[in-house]
Structure 1
Amino acid sequence: MPRIGVDYYPEQWDRSLWEPDAMLMREAGVTVVRLAEFSWSRLEPEEGRFEFGWLDEAVELFGRHGIGVVLGTPTAAPPNWLARRYPDVLPLDSQLHPQYPGVRGHRCYNSPSLNRYAAVIVDKLASRYAHNPSVIGWQTDNEFSLIACHCPSCNDKFRAWLQRKYESLETLNREWGTVVWSGEFGQWSEVTTPLGGSKHLNPSYLLDYNRFQTDSAVAFQQMQVDILREKCPDRWVTHNLWSYPSYLDYYKLCETLDFASFDYYPHTSPDKTETSPYSGALSLDLARGVKRKNFWIMEQLSGSPGCWFPMWRMPYPGYIRAASWQSISRGADAVVHFRWRSALTGAEQFWHGLIDHSNVPGRRFREFRQLADEVNRLAPLLEGTTVRNETAILFSHEQHIALDIQPQASGMNYFENVKTYHKALTKLGIGVDVINWTEPLDGYKLVITPSLYLLDWDTASRLAQFAADGGTLVLMNRTGVKNLNNVCRMEPLPGPLAECAGVTVEEYDPIGGDMHRMTCAGGSSYEALQWADILSPVTAEPIAWYADDYFAGKPAVTLNRYGRGTVCYIGTNPEEAYFIHLFGSLADELGIGRLAGLPEGVQVSCRSKEGAAYLFIFNFTREDKEVNIGREYDSILTGGKAGSVLRVAPYGVEIVKV
């Protein structure tokens, strides 16, 4: 059931404010608060001396007002006494310089001292609140990221990680190709983390180091999860993921959690508001795809962010409400706003909350109250609903890392290209899941695969089988270039997928920022950007050709009938308009439902359960928009009738039962 909440920091406010805040929260419709994720120094001011009285009081207060509490484990900000007494807590960069306390995230996941003392504080918290009825769940740490640490503990554990993977130095040298530049290792002690920070280090080495650091974050979190599961078996555990793109593999990180959570800060400045809601839609679909189930928003935009960068514009009237409903429409079962009140002290003083420093509730707070009222009123209807789609984009943190290690062409970026594919689908009114590239594909009709630069035969066989069984598979350029150890394949591209694609790459040209064009069979012309695979069809048929340069007239896009399905290969990175044309045609051919003719800036999403489906319509622009939804529907937001042509106000929201 969707819930509305706020992030609150009782340790930062005088106790005289706690009761009035809780009362105002209850009146405003708040049903959940997150507490304590940065409070280690207050919970354990000295080693072994614990002070939980203030947190007991806060938890009891919110419980008394009927507000559920999510407790955060405070391990993202170790206290000064811990870093001073046990300096192995601090991560070392590639130049062996320590990261000092004073910001946050100053901890190495592999530090013996951090793990020992983190286990103690988590155990103390879990034991104390295990049976407290006001505590509904737990958040581990805060916004885990991939920390490129080079301390002695990381060196020892990285070496052990490699020994488990490769078993022998001979195998490691062969699989990495260390013979290049006389990089062969003669004994295990020579193997270290990639010191120095050079971009010219062996790419297989760098990819494995990033994988190791993901596993380190996963292990550090799992230590906490194990404690929470043992002490609080009837409470859920989640983690609040930071923004995309991320080198940290969120799929691995969330594997043992009950559900994923995400921190959502759509950009508010005018030069960003045209694209930000589309990027936000992708981020929300990615968050849902982490566990392939509904998720939480643990931090939602409440005002202008700013601190270590100039402040953004304040959210336009309606923006906070629209972005929150957008989160719910794409699978969020709770939206927790950051934060209740703007901080008076510290680095985030100007990362604005719902209430400004004046402590006088204003426009943004009134908008939040309207949102909370709507969500609480509609929660029973939306309970049990999920997002179900027939189209998927396969996403991979590893592909993103590998392509960042060795950029393929000027301006060519894995995540930015994913944005283009997703934005085209969103503009077409096609719902899409964004899931891990290793996930099963049952139930999908259309699957889009951003550059599968790293590719093994098992994955290739699974994708080919999806097409053979009747699915439509869209492959992008730079597919099949390397194996999973980041080593180039000695075979024509797209490597293991060449047969099902029915085409091979005769030659390629990293065109970067040079402008090229391609034409389609009907005569329409589109920009061809970043890359140009010059294609040699085997069983595939060309459906677009390059219009200029030495490869003019050569195929740029092909379509191959494979088994009962279809494989499309796109050899360049066309402009968005081409993807709208192609994906729309493929969706119509496959019978994938969509709301055609959406105006620019208008988005739709659907949540459903057996016997009921609810369509959410958003106008993320500053002018009225008309949306044709085909026939008259019941509006569950207003209780009235929604005509077949809706007029949606700037940052307006409509929800209809379909």
Structure 2
Amino acid sequence: MKVGVDYYPEHWDVALWEQDARQMQETGISIVRLAEFAWSRLEPREGEFDFDWLDRAIAVLARHGIEVVLGTPTATPPVWLTHNYPDVLPVDNKGNAHYAGVRLHRCYNSPSLRKYGARIIEKLTQRYAMHAAVMGWQTDNELAANDCHCENCTLRFRGWLKRKYRTLDELNREWGTVVWSGEYSDWEQVKTPLGGSPHLNPSFLLDFRRFSSDAVADFNRFQADLIRKHSPGKFVTHNLWGYPVTADYYDMFDSMDFASVDYYPATDLRDDSKSRMYHGALTLDLTRGVKRRNFWVMEQLSGTPGCWYPMSRTPFPGMIRAYAWQSVARGADAIVQFRWRSARVGAEQFWHGLLDHHGLPGRRYAEFVRFSEEAGRLTPLLEGTTLQHDVAMLFSHEQLNAFQIQPQADGFDYVGNFKRFHTALLRMGIGADVINWRSDFDGYKLVIAPMLYLIDDEMAAKLRRYVETGGTLVLTMRSGVKNMNNVCLPERLPNLLTNLIGAHVDEYDPVGKDVQTLTFESGETHACAQWCDLLIPVEARSIASYSSEYFAGRSAITKNEIGAGVVYYIGTVLDAVGTKSLLRRIATDVGIDCSLDLPEGVEMTTRRAEGKQITFVLNLSKDVQTLSLPLRDCVSALSDRRFAGGDFELQPGAVEILVR
């Protein structure tokens, strides 16, 4: 277990470096990330390099026992590069180049970015390959698929399409360009989706997103290859920044040793629109699932967020410590706080670090020191532990992109609906692995695969094999709608999945925000919204029917037994209570413990290794919470207090770590 900070020595007077390093050492910091935005200091003019300041900064940190993660600086091309080689800058769908002077202002397909990016990476890695204090590397920063329409991207997109479809006739057929006279007669006519209209061909738009995702994955791979060539034996990671994103993280991280994430939980808690990209526990579970192993948090909330928008609320007392432990509880093996000092210059002056602008320790700093001390003390206990679950949730960037291109109903949101299932499991104390929908899931008792809008024969067969051999599968509305080229399939919904669910969709109603009701066999009634599939069971049994509007009495949820397993099809979006009730029934049937009913803001997770089980109980809310835990004969790793079971009171931001 490692604890660290992000530090920008180039922003501060050299006289502060020694003081900062000494103070970091006193707080238990063992790692610092450096240089990911420092290209202009490393190469102030084309071909002129200055590493002396970085040598000195690393040496100061090393004297205090602190190791360094170096970032490649390609997220911020310097002014000389964008001025002399404007092909570095992305071009928007109106043909306008992005301006320099911000960050992430680079086109992954730019020959100049590749050329000069390779040179600075080679210089860095050659210089620090054998440095004892440099433990590993971070590529770039918060990579995302640029929506770039420059000449280089146009040519590469055309080549990407030629490799996929081979002929224009095939492309026209697969995209259905006959609609609105969109047929191409020459490859030169094929361009990126210019203009930004949402009414462009959806197959065209999805392929462009795939191309953009492939470009960023290739750019990350290009950097990883250079790093490993010149700095063998040291890890390579990247810091993803949340969801939703166009780029497919599973592809982007295929060249990384492990995943890292930048995690800024909402400080407003109830409604923080600026932080909705960070879906709390789901973000951490998604990150763990990228490589299906433990991960790092490369940027963790340290203070009030705010940059080019109004500041959010200050983290409440206990929040920084509690959310750091939440990250550990969900698989983080390193917590790196962003940032050590709050910036006095630049656009991020009000994205607060552990130290405010005056540099004096305060409440947030003291909280971090407490977490750091606890993490250091518990490192031997946590060593080698991982999360092991019976439930998998299948996440798909393909589906996410397709739904963004063609929103299905008022209020319909892929990630939001995915999170609805994840939250229901969390409230019942059920852990889940959130994994790539294409990866292996045979070993799980329960697989939840929401909204498989795009489908192919391979995936349909894989799901059927899983069920036939004893698995329990949950499918939902908007599954089996299209083929992988974003073209509607011709049979009754859910098309390739119809035989699996043992029912078909007679018709559907995108009810949006018009709330409906349904009733289970047991008599339970729950609200639903967004979408209503009206199902006709064939081999399946209806277990819930609508009880509102013209479709009252029509089947809403079915259960079908196939071979040794079971598949459920949920034809609507249940409210939170209904989702939890249904999943509790399903979990009980497959023998998964679902006895907990955790209040909002309370989480419980377990890390395991041979011979030990470590359970984290966290109150991430501002309220005192009381709960009854089914744990016996545990010892608190924080206080050595014995816990015999029963009621448990948690103060706001409280953390308990129980060992069996």
CA contact (8 A) 1:511 1:530 kept: yes
Map residues 295-334 of structure 1 onto 2, 5 A cutoff.
Answer: 295-334=295-334
| Distance in 1 of aligned mates of 2:91 and 2:534 | 45
1:602 Cα offset (Å): 1.1
1:112-169 CA distances to partner (integer Å, 9 max, x unpaired)? 1011000000000000000001000100000001101000000000000001111111
Long gaps (5+) in structure 1? none
Partner secondary structure for residue 152 of structure 2: helix
1:545 Cα offset (Å): 0.4
Partner secondary structure for residue 598 of structure 1: coil
1:515-541 CA distances to partner (integer Å, 9 max, x unpaired)? 211011111111120111000001111
CA contact (8 A) 1:306 1:312 kept: yes
1:445 corresponds in structure 2 to 445
| Distance in 1 of aligned mates of 2:204 and 2:563 | 39
1:642 corresponds in structure 2 to 643
2:255 corresponds in structure 1 to 256
CA contact (8 A) 2:266 2:278 kept: no
1:168 corresponds in structure 2 to 167
Q: Taking structure 1 as reference, are residues 568 and 469 closer, same or farther at Cα in structure 2, changes over 3 Å only?
A: same
| Distance in 1 of aligned mates of 2:472 and 2:179 | 41
| Distance in 2 of aligned mates of 1:15 and 1:279 | 38
CA contact (8 A) 2:72 2:140 kept: yes
1:551 corresponds in structure 2 to 551
1:595-618 CA distances to partner (integer Å, 9 max, x unpaired)? 513223211111111111100001
| Distance in 2 of aligned mates of 1:277 and 1:164 | 34
1:201 corresponds in structure 2 to 200
CA contact (8 A) 2:242 2:278 kept: no
2:232 corresponds in structure 1 to 233
1:512 corresponds in structure 2 to 512
Map residues 178-193 of structure 1 onto 2, 5 A cutoff.
Answer: 178-193=177-192
Indicate which of 635, 650, 655 corresponds to 1:653.
Answer: 655
| Distance in 2 of aligned mates of 1:388 and 1:68 | 30
Map residues 28-47 of structure 1 onto 2, 5 A cutoff.
Answer: 28-47=27-46
1:334-355 CA distances to partner (integer Å, 9 max, x unpaired)? 0100000100000000000000
2:99 corresponds in structure 1 to 100
| Distance in 1 of aligned mates of 2:614 and 2:438 | 30
| Distance in 2 of aligned mates of 1:543 and 1:9 | 58
1:428-485 CA distances to partner (integer Å, 9 max, x unpaired)? 1100111110010132111111100000010011011111111110001010000000
CA contact (8 A) 2:483 2:489 kept: yes
2:246 corresponds in structure 1 to 247
Partner secondary structure for residue 218 of structure 1: helix
| Distance in 2 of aligned mates of 1:309 and 1:385 | 39
| Distance in 2 of aligned mates of 1:210 and 1:142 | 20
1:278 Cα offset (Å): 9.7
1:632 Cα offset (Å): 3.4
* TM-score under structure 2 length normalisation: 0.98
1:616 corresponds in structure 2 to 616
| Distance in 2 of aligned mates of 1:379 and 1:277 | 30
2:221 corresponds in structure 1 to 222
Query: Higher mean Cα deviation, 473-482 or 271-280?
Result: 271-280
| Distance in 2 of aligned mates of 1:637 and 1:391 | 29
Partner secondary structure for residue 181 of structure 1: helix
1:556-602 CA distances to partner (integer Å, 9 max, x unpaired)? 00001111110000001110111111111111111113451322321
Partner secondary structure for residue 279 of structure 1: coil
Q: Percent identity?
A: 53
2:501 corresponds in structure 1 to 501
Q: Taking structure 1 as reference, are residues 396 and 546 closer, same or farther at Cα in structure 2, changes over 3 Å only?
A: same
| Distance in 2 of aligned mates of 1:627 and 1:532 | 36
Q: Taking structure 1 as reference, are residues 621 and 277 closer, same or farther at Cα in structure 2, changes over 3 Å only?
A: farther
| Residue identity opposite 1:448 in structure 2 | I
Q: Taking structure 1 as reference, are residues 277 and 584 closer, same or farther at Cα in structure 2, changes over 3 Å only?
A: farther
CA contact (8 A) 1:542 1:558 kept: yes
2:118 corresponds in structure 1 to 119
1:480 corresponds in structure 2 to 480
1:9-53 CA distances to partner (integer Å, 9 max, x unpaired)? 000000000000000000001011000000000000000000000
1:624 Cα offset (Å): 2.0
| Residue identity opposite 2:411 in structure 1 | G
Map residues 285-434 of structure 1 onto 2, 5 A cutoff.
Answer: 285-434=285-434
| Distance in 1 of aligned mates of 2:451 and 2:656 | 36
1:276 Cα offset (Å): 7.6
CA contact (8 A) 2:319 2:653 kept: yes
| Distance in 1 of aligned mates of 2:139 and 2:310 | 30
| Residue identity opposite 1:162 in structure 2 | L
CA contact (8 A) 1:341 1:357 kept: yes
Partner secondary structure for residue 375 of structure 2: helix
2:633 corresponds in structure 1 to 632
1:643 Cα offset (Å): 3.7
Q: Taking structure 1 as reference, are residues 424 and 258 closer, same or farther at Cα in structure 2, changes over 3 Å only?
A: same
Partner secondary structure for residue 606 of structure 2: strand
Partner secondary structure for residue 369 of structure 2: helix
1:497 Cα offset (Å): 1.1
CA contact (8 A) 1:68 1:135 kept: yes
Partner secondary structure for residue 171 of structure 1: helix
| Residue identity opposite 1:392 in structure 2 | A
Partner secondary structure for residue 74 of structure 1: coil
CA contact (8 A) 2:243 2:277 kept: no
| Residue identity opposite 1:479 in structure 2 | S
Partner secondary structure for residue 550 of structure 2: coil
| Distance in 2 of aligned mates of 1:263 and 1:595 | 33
CA contact (8 A) 1:278 1:423 kept: no
| Residue identity opposite 1:654 in structure 2 | E
Q: Taking structure 1 as reference, are residues 337 and 457 closer, same or farther at Cα in structure 2, changes over 3 Å only?
A: same
Partner secondary structure for residue 550 of structure 1: helix
1:279 Cα offset (Å): 2.9
Partner secondary structure for residue 353 of structure 1: coil
Query: Higher mean Cα deviation, 616-625 or 562-571?
Result: 616-625
Q: Taking structure 1 as reference, are residues 392 and 278 closer, same or farther at Cα in structure 2, changes over 3 Å only?
A: farther
CA contact (8 A) 2:244 2:277 kept: no
1:223 Cα offset (Å): 1.2
RMSD after superposition:
1.3
- Is 2:550 the counterpart of 1:540? no
1:491 corresponds in structure 2 to 491
Partner secondary structure for residue 98 of structure 1: coil
| Distance in 2 of aligned mates of 1:177 and 1:154 | 23
CA contact (8 A) 1:277 1:620 kept: no
CA contact (8 A) 2:467 2:563 kept: yes
1:77-105 CA distances to partner (integer Å, 9 max, x unpaired)? 00000000000001100000010111101
| Distance in 2 of aligned mates of 1:178 and 1:286 | 36
Long gaps (5+) in structure 2? none
1:271 Cα offset (Å): 3.0
1:270 Cα offset (Å): 4.9
- Is 2:19 the counterpart of 1:20? yes
| Residue identity opposite 1:29 in structure 2 | G
CA contact (8 A) 2:471 2:564 kept: yes
| Distance in 1 of aligned mates of 2:309 and 2:320 | 21
CA contact (8 A) 1:302 1:339 kept: yes
| Distance in 1 of aligned mates of 2:612 and 2:245 | 36
May I ask how many residue pairs the two structures share in their alignment?
Answer: 657
1:575 corresponds in structure 2 to 575
1:478-524 CA distances to partner (integer Å, 9 max, x unpaired)? 10000000011001111111111111001111111112110111111
Q: Taking structure 1 as reference, are residues 405 and 291 closer, same or farther at Cα in structure 2, changes over 3 Å only?
A: same
| Distance in 1 of aligned mates of 2:574 and 2:595 | 23
- Is 2:84 the counterpart of 1:85? yes
| Distance in 1 of aligned mates of 2:291 and 2:128 | 27
Query: Higher mean Cα deviation, 493-502 or 369-378?
Result: 493-502
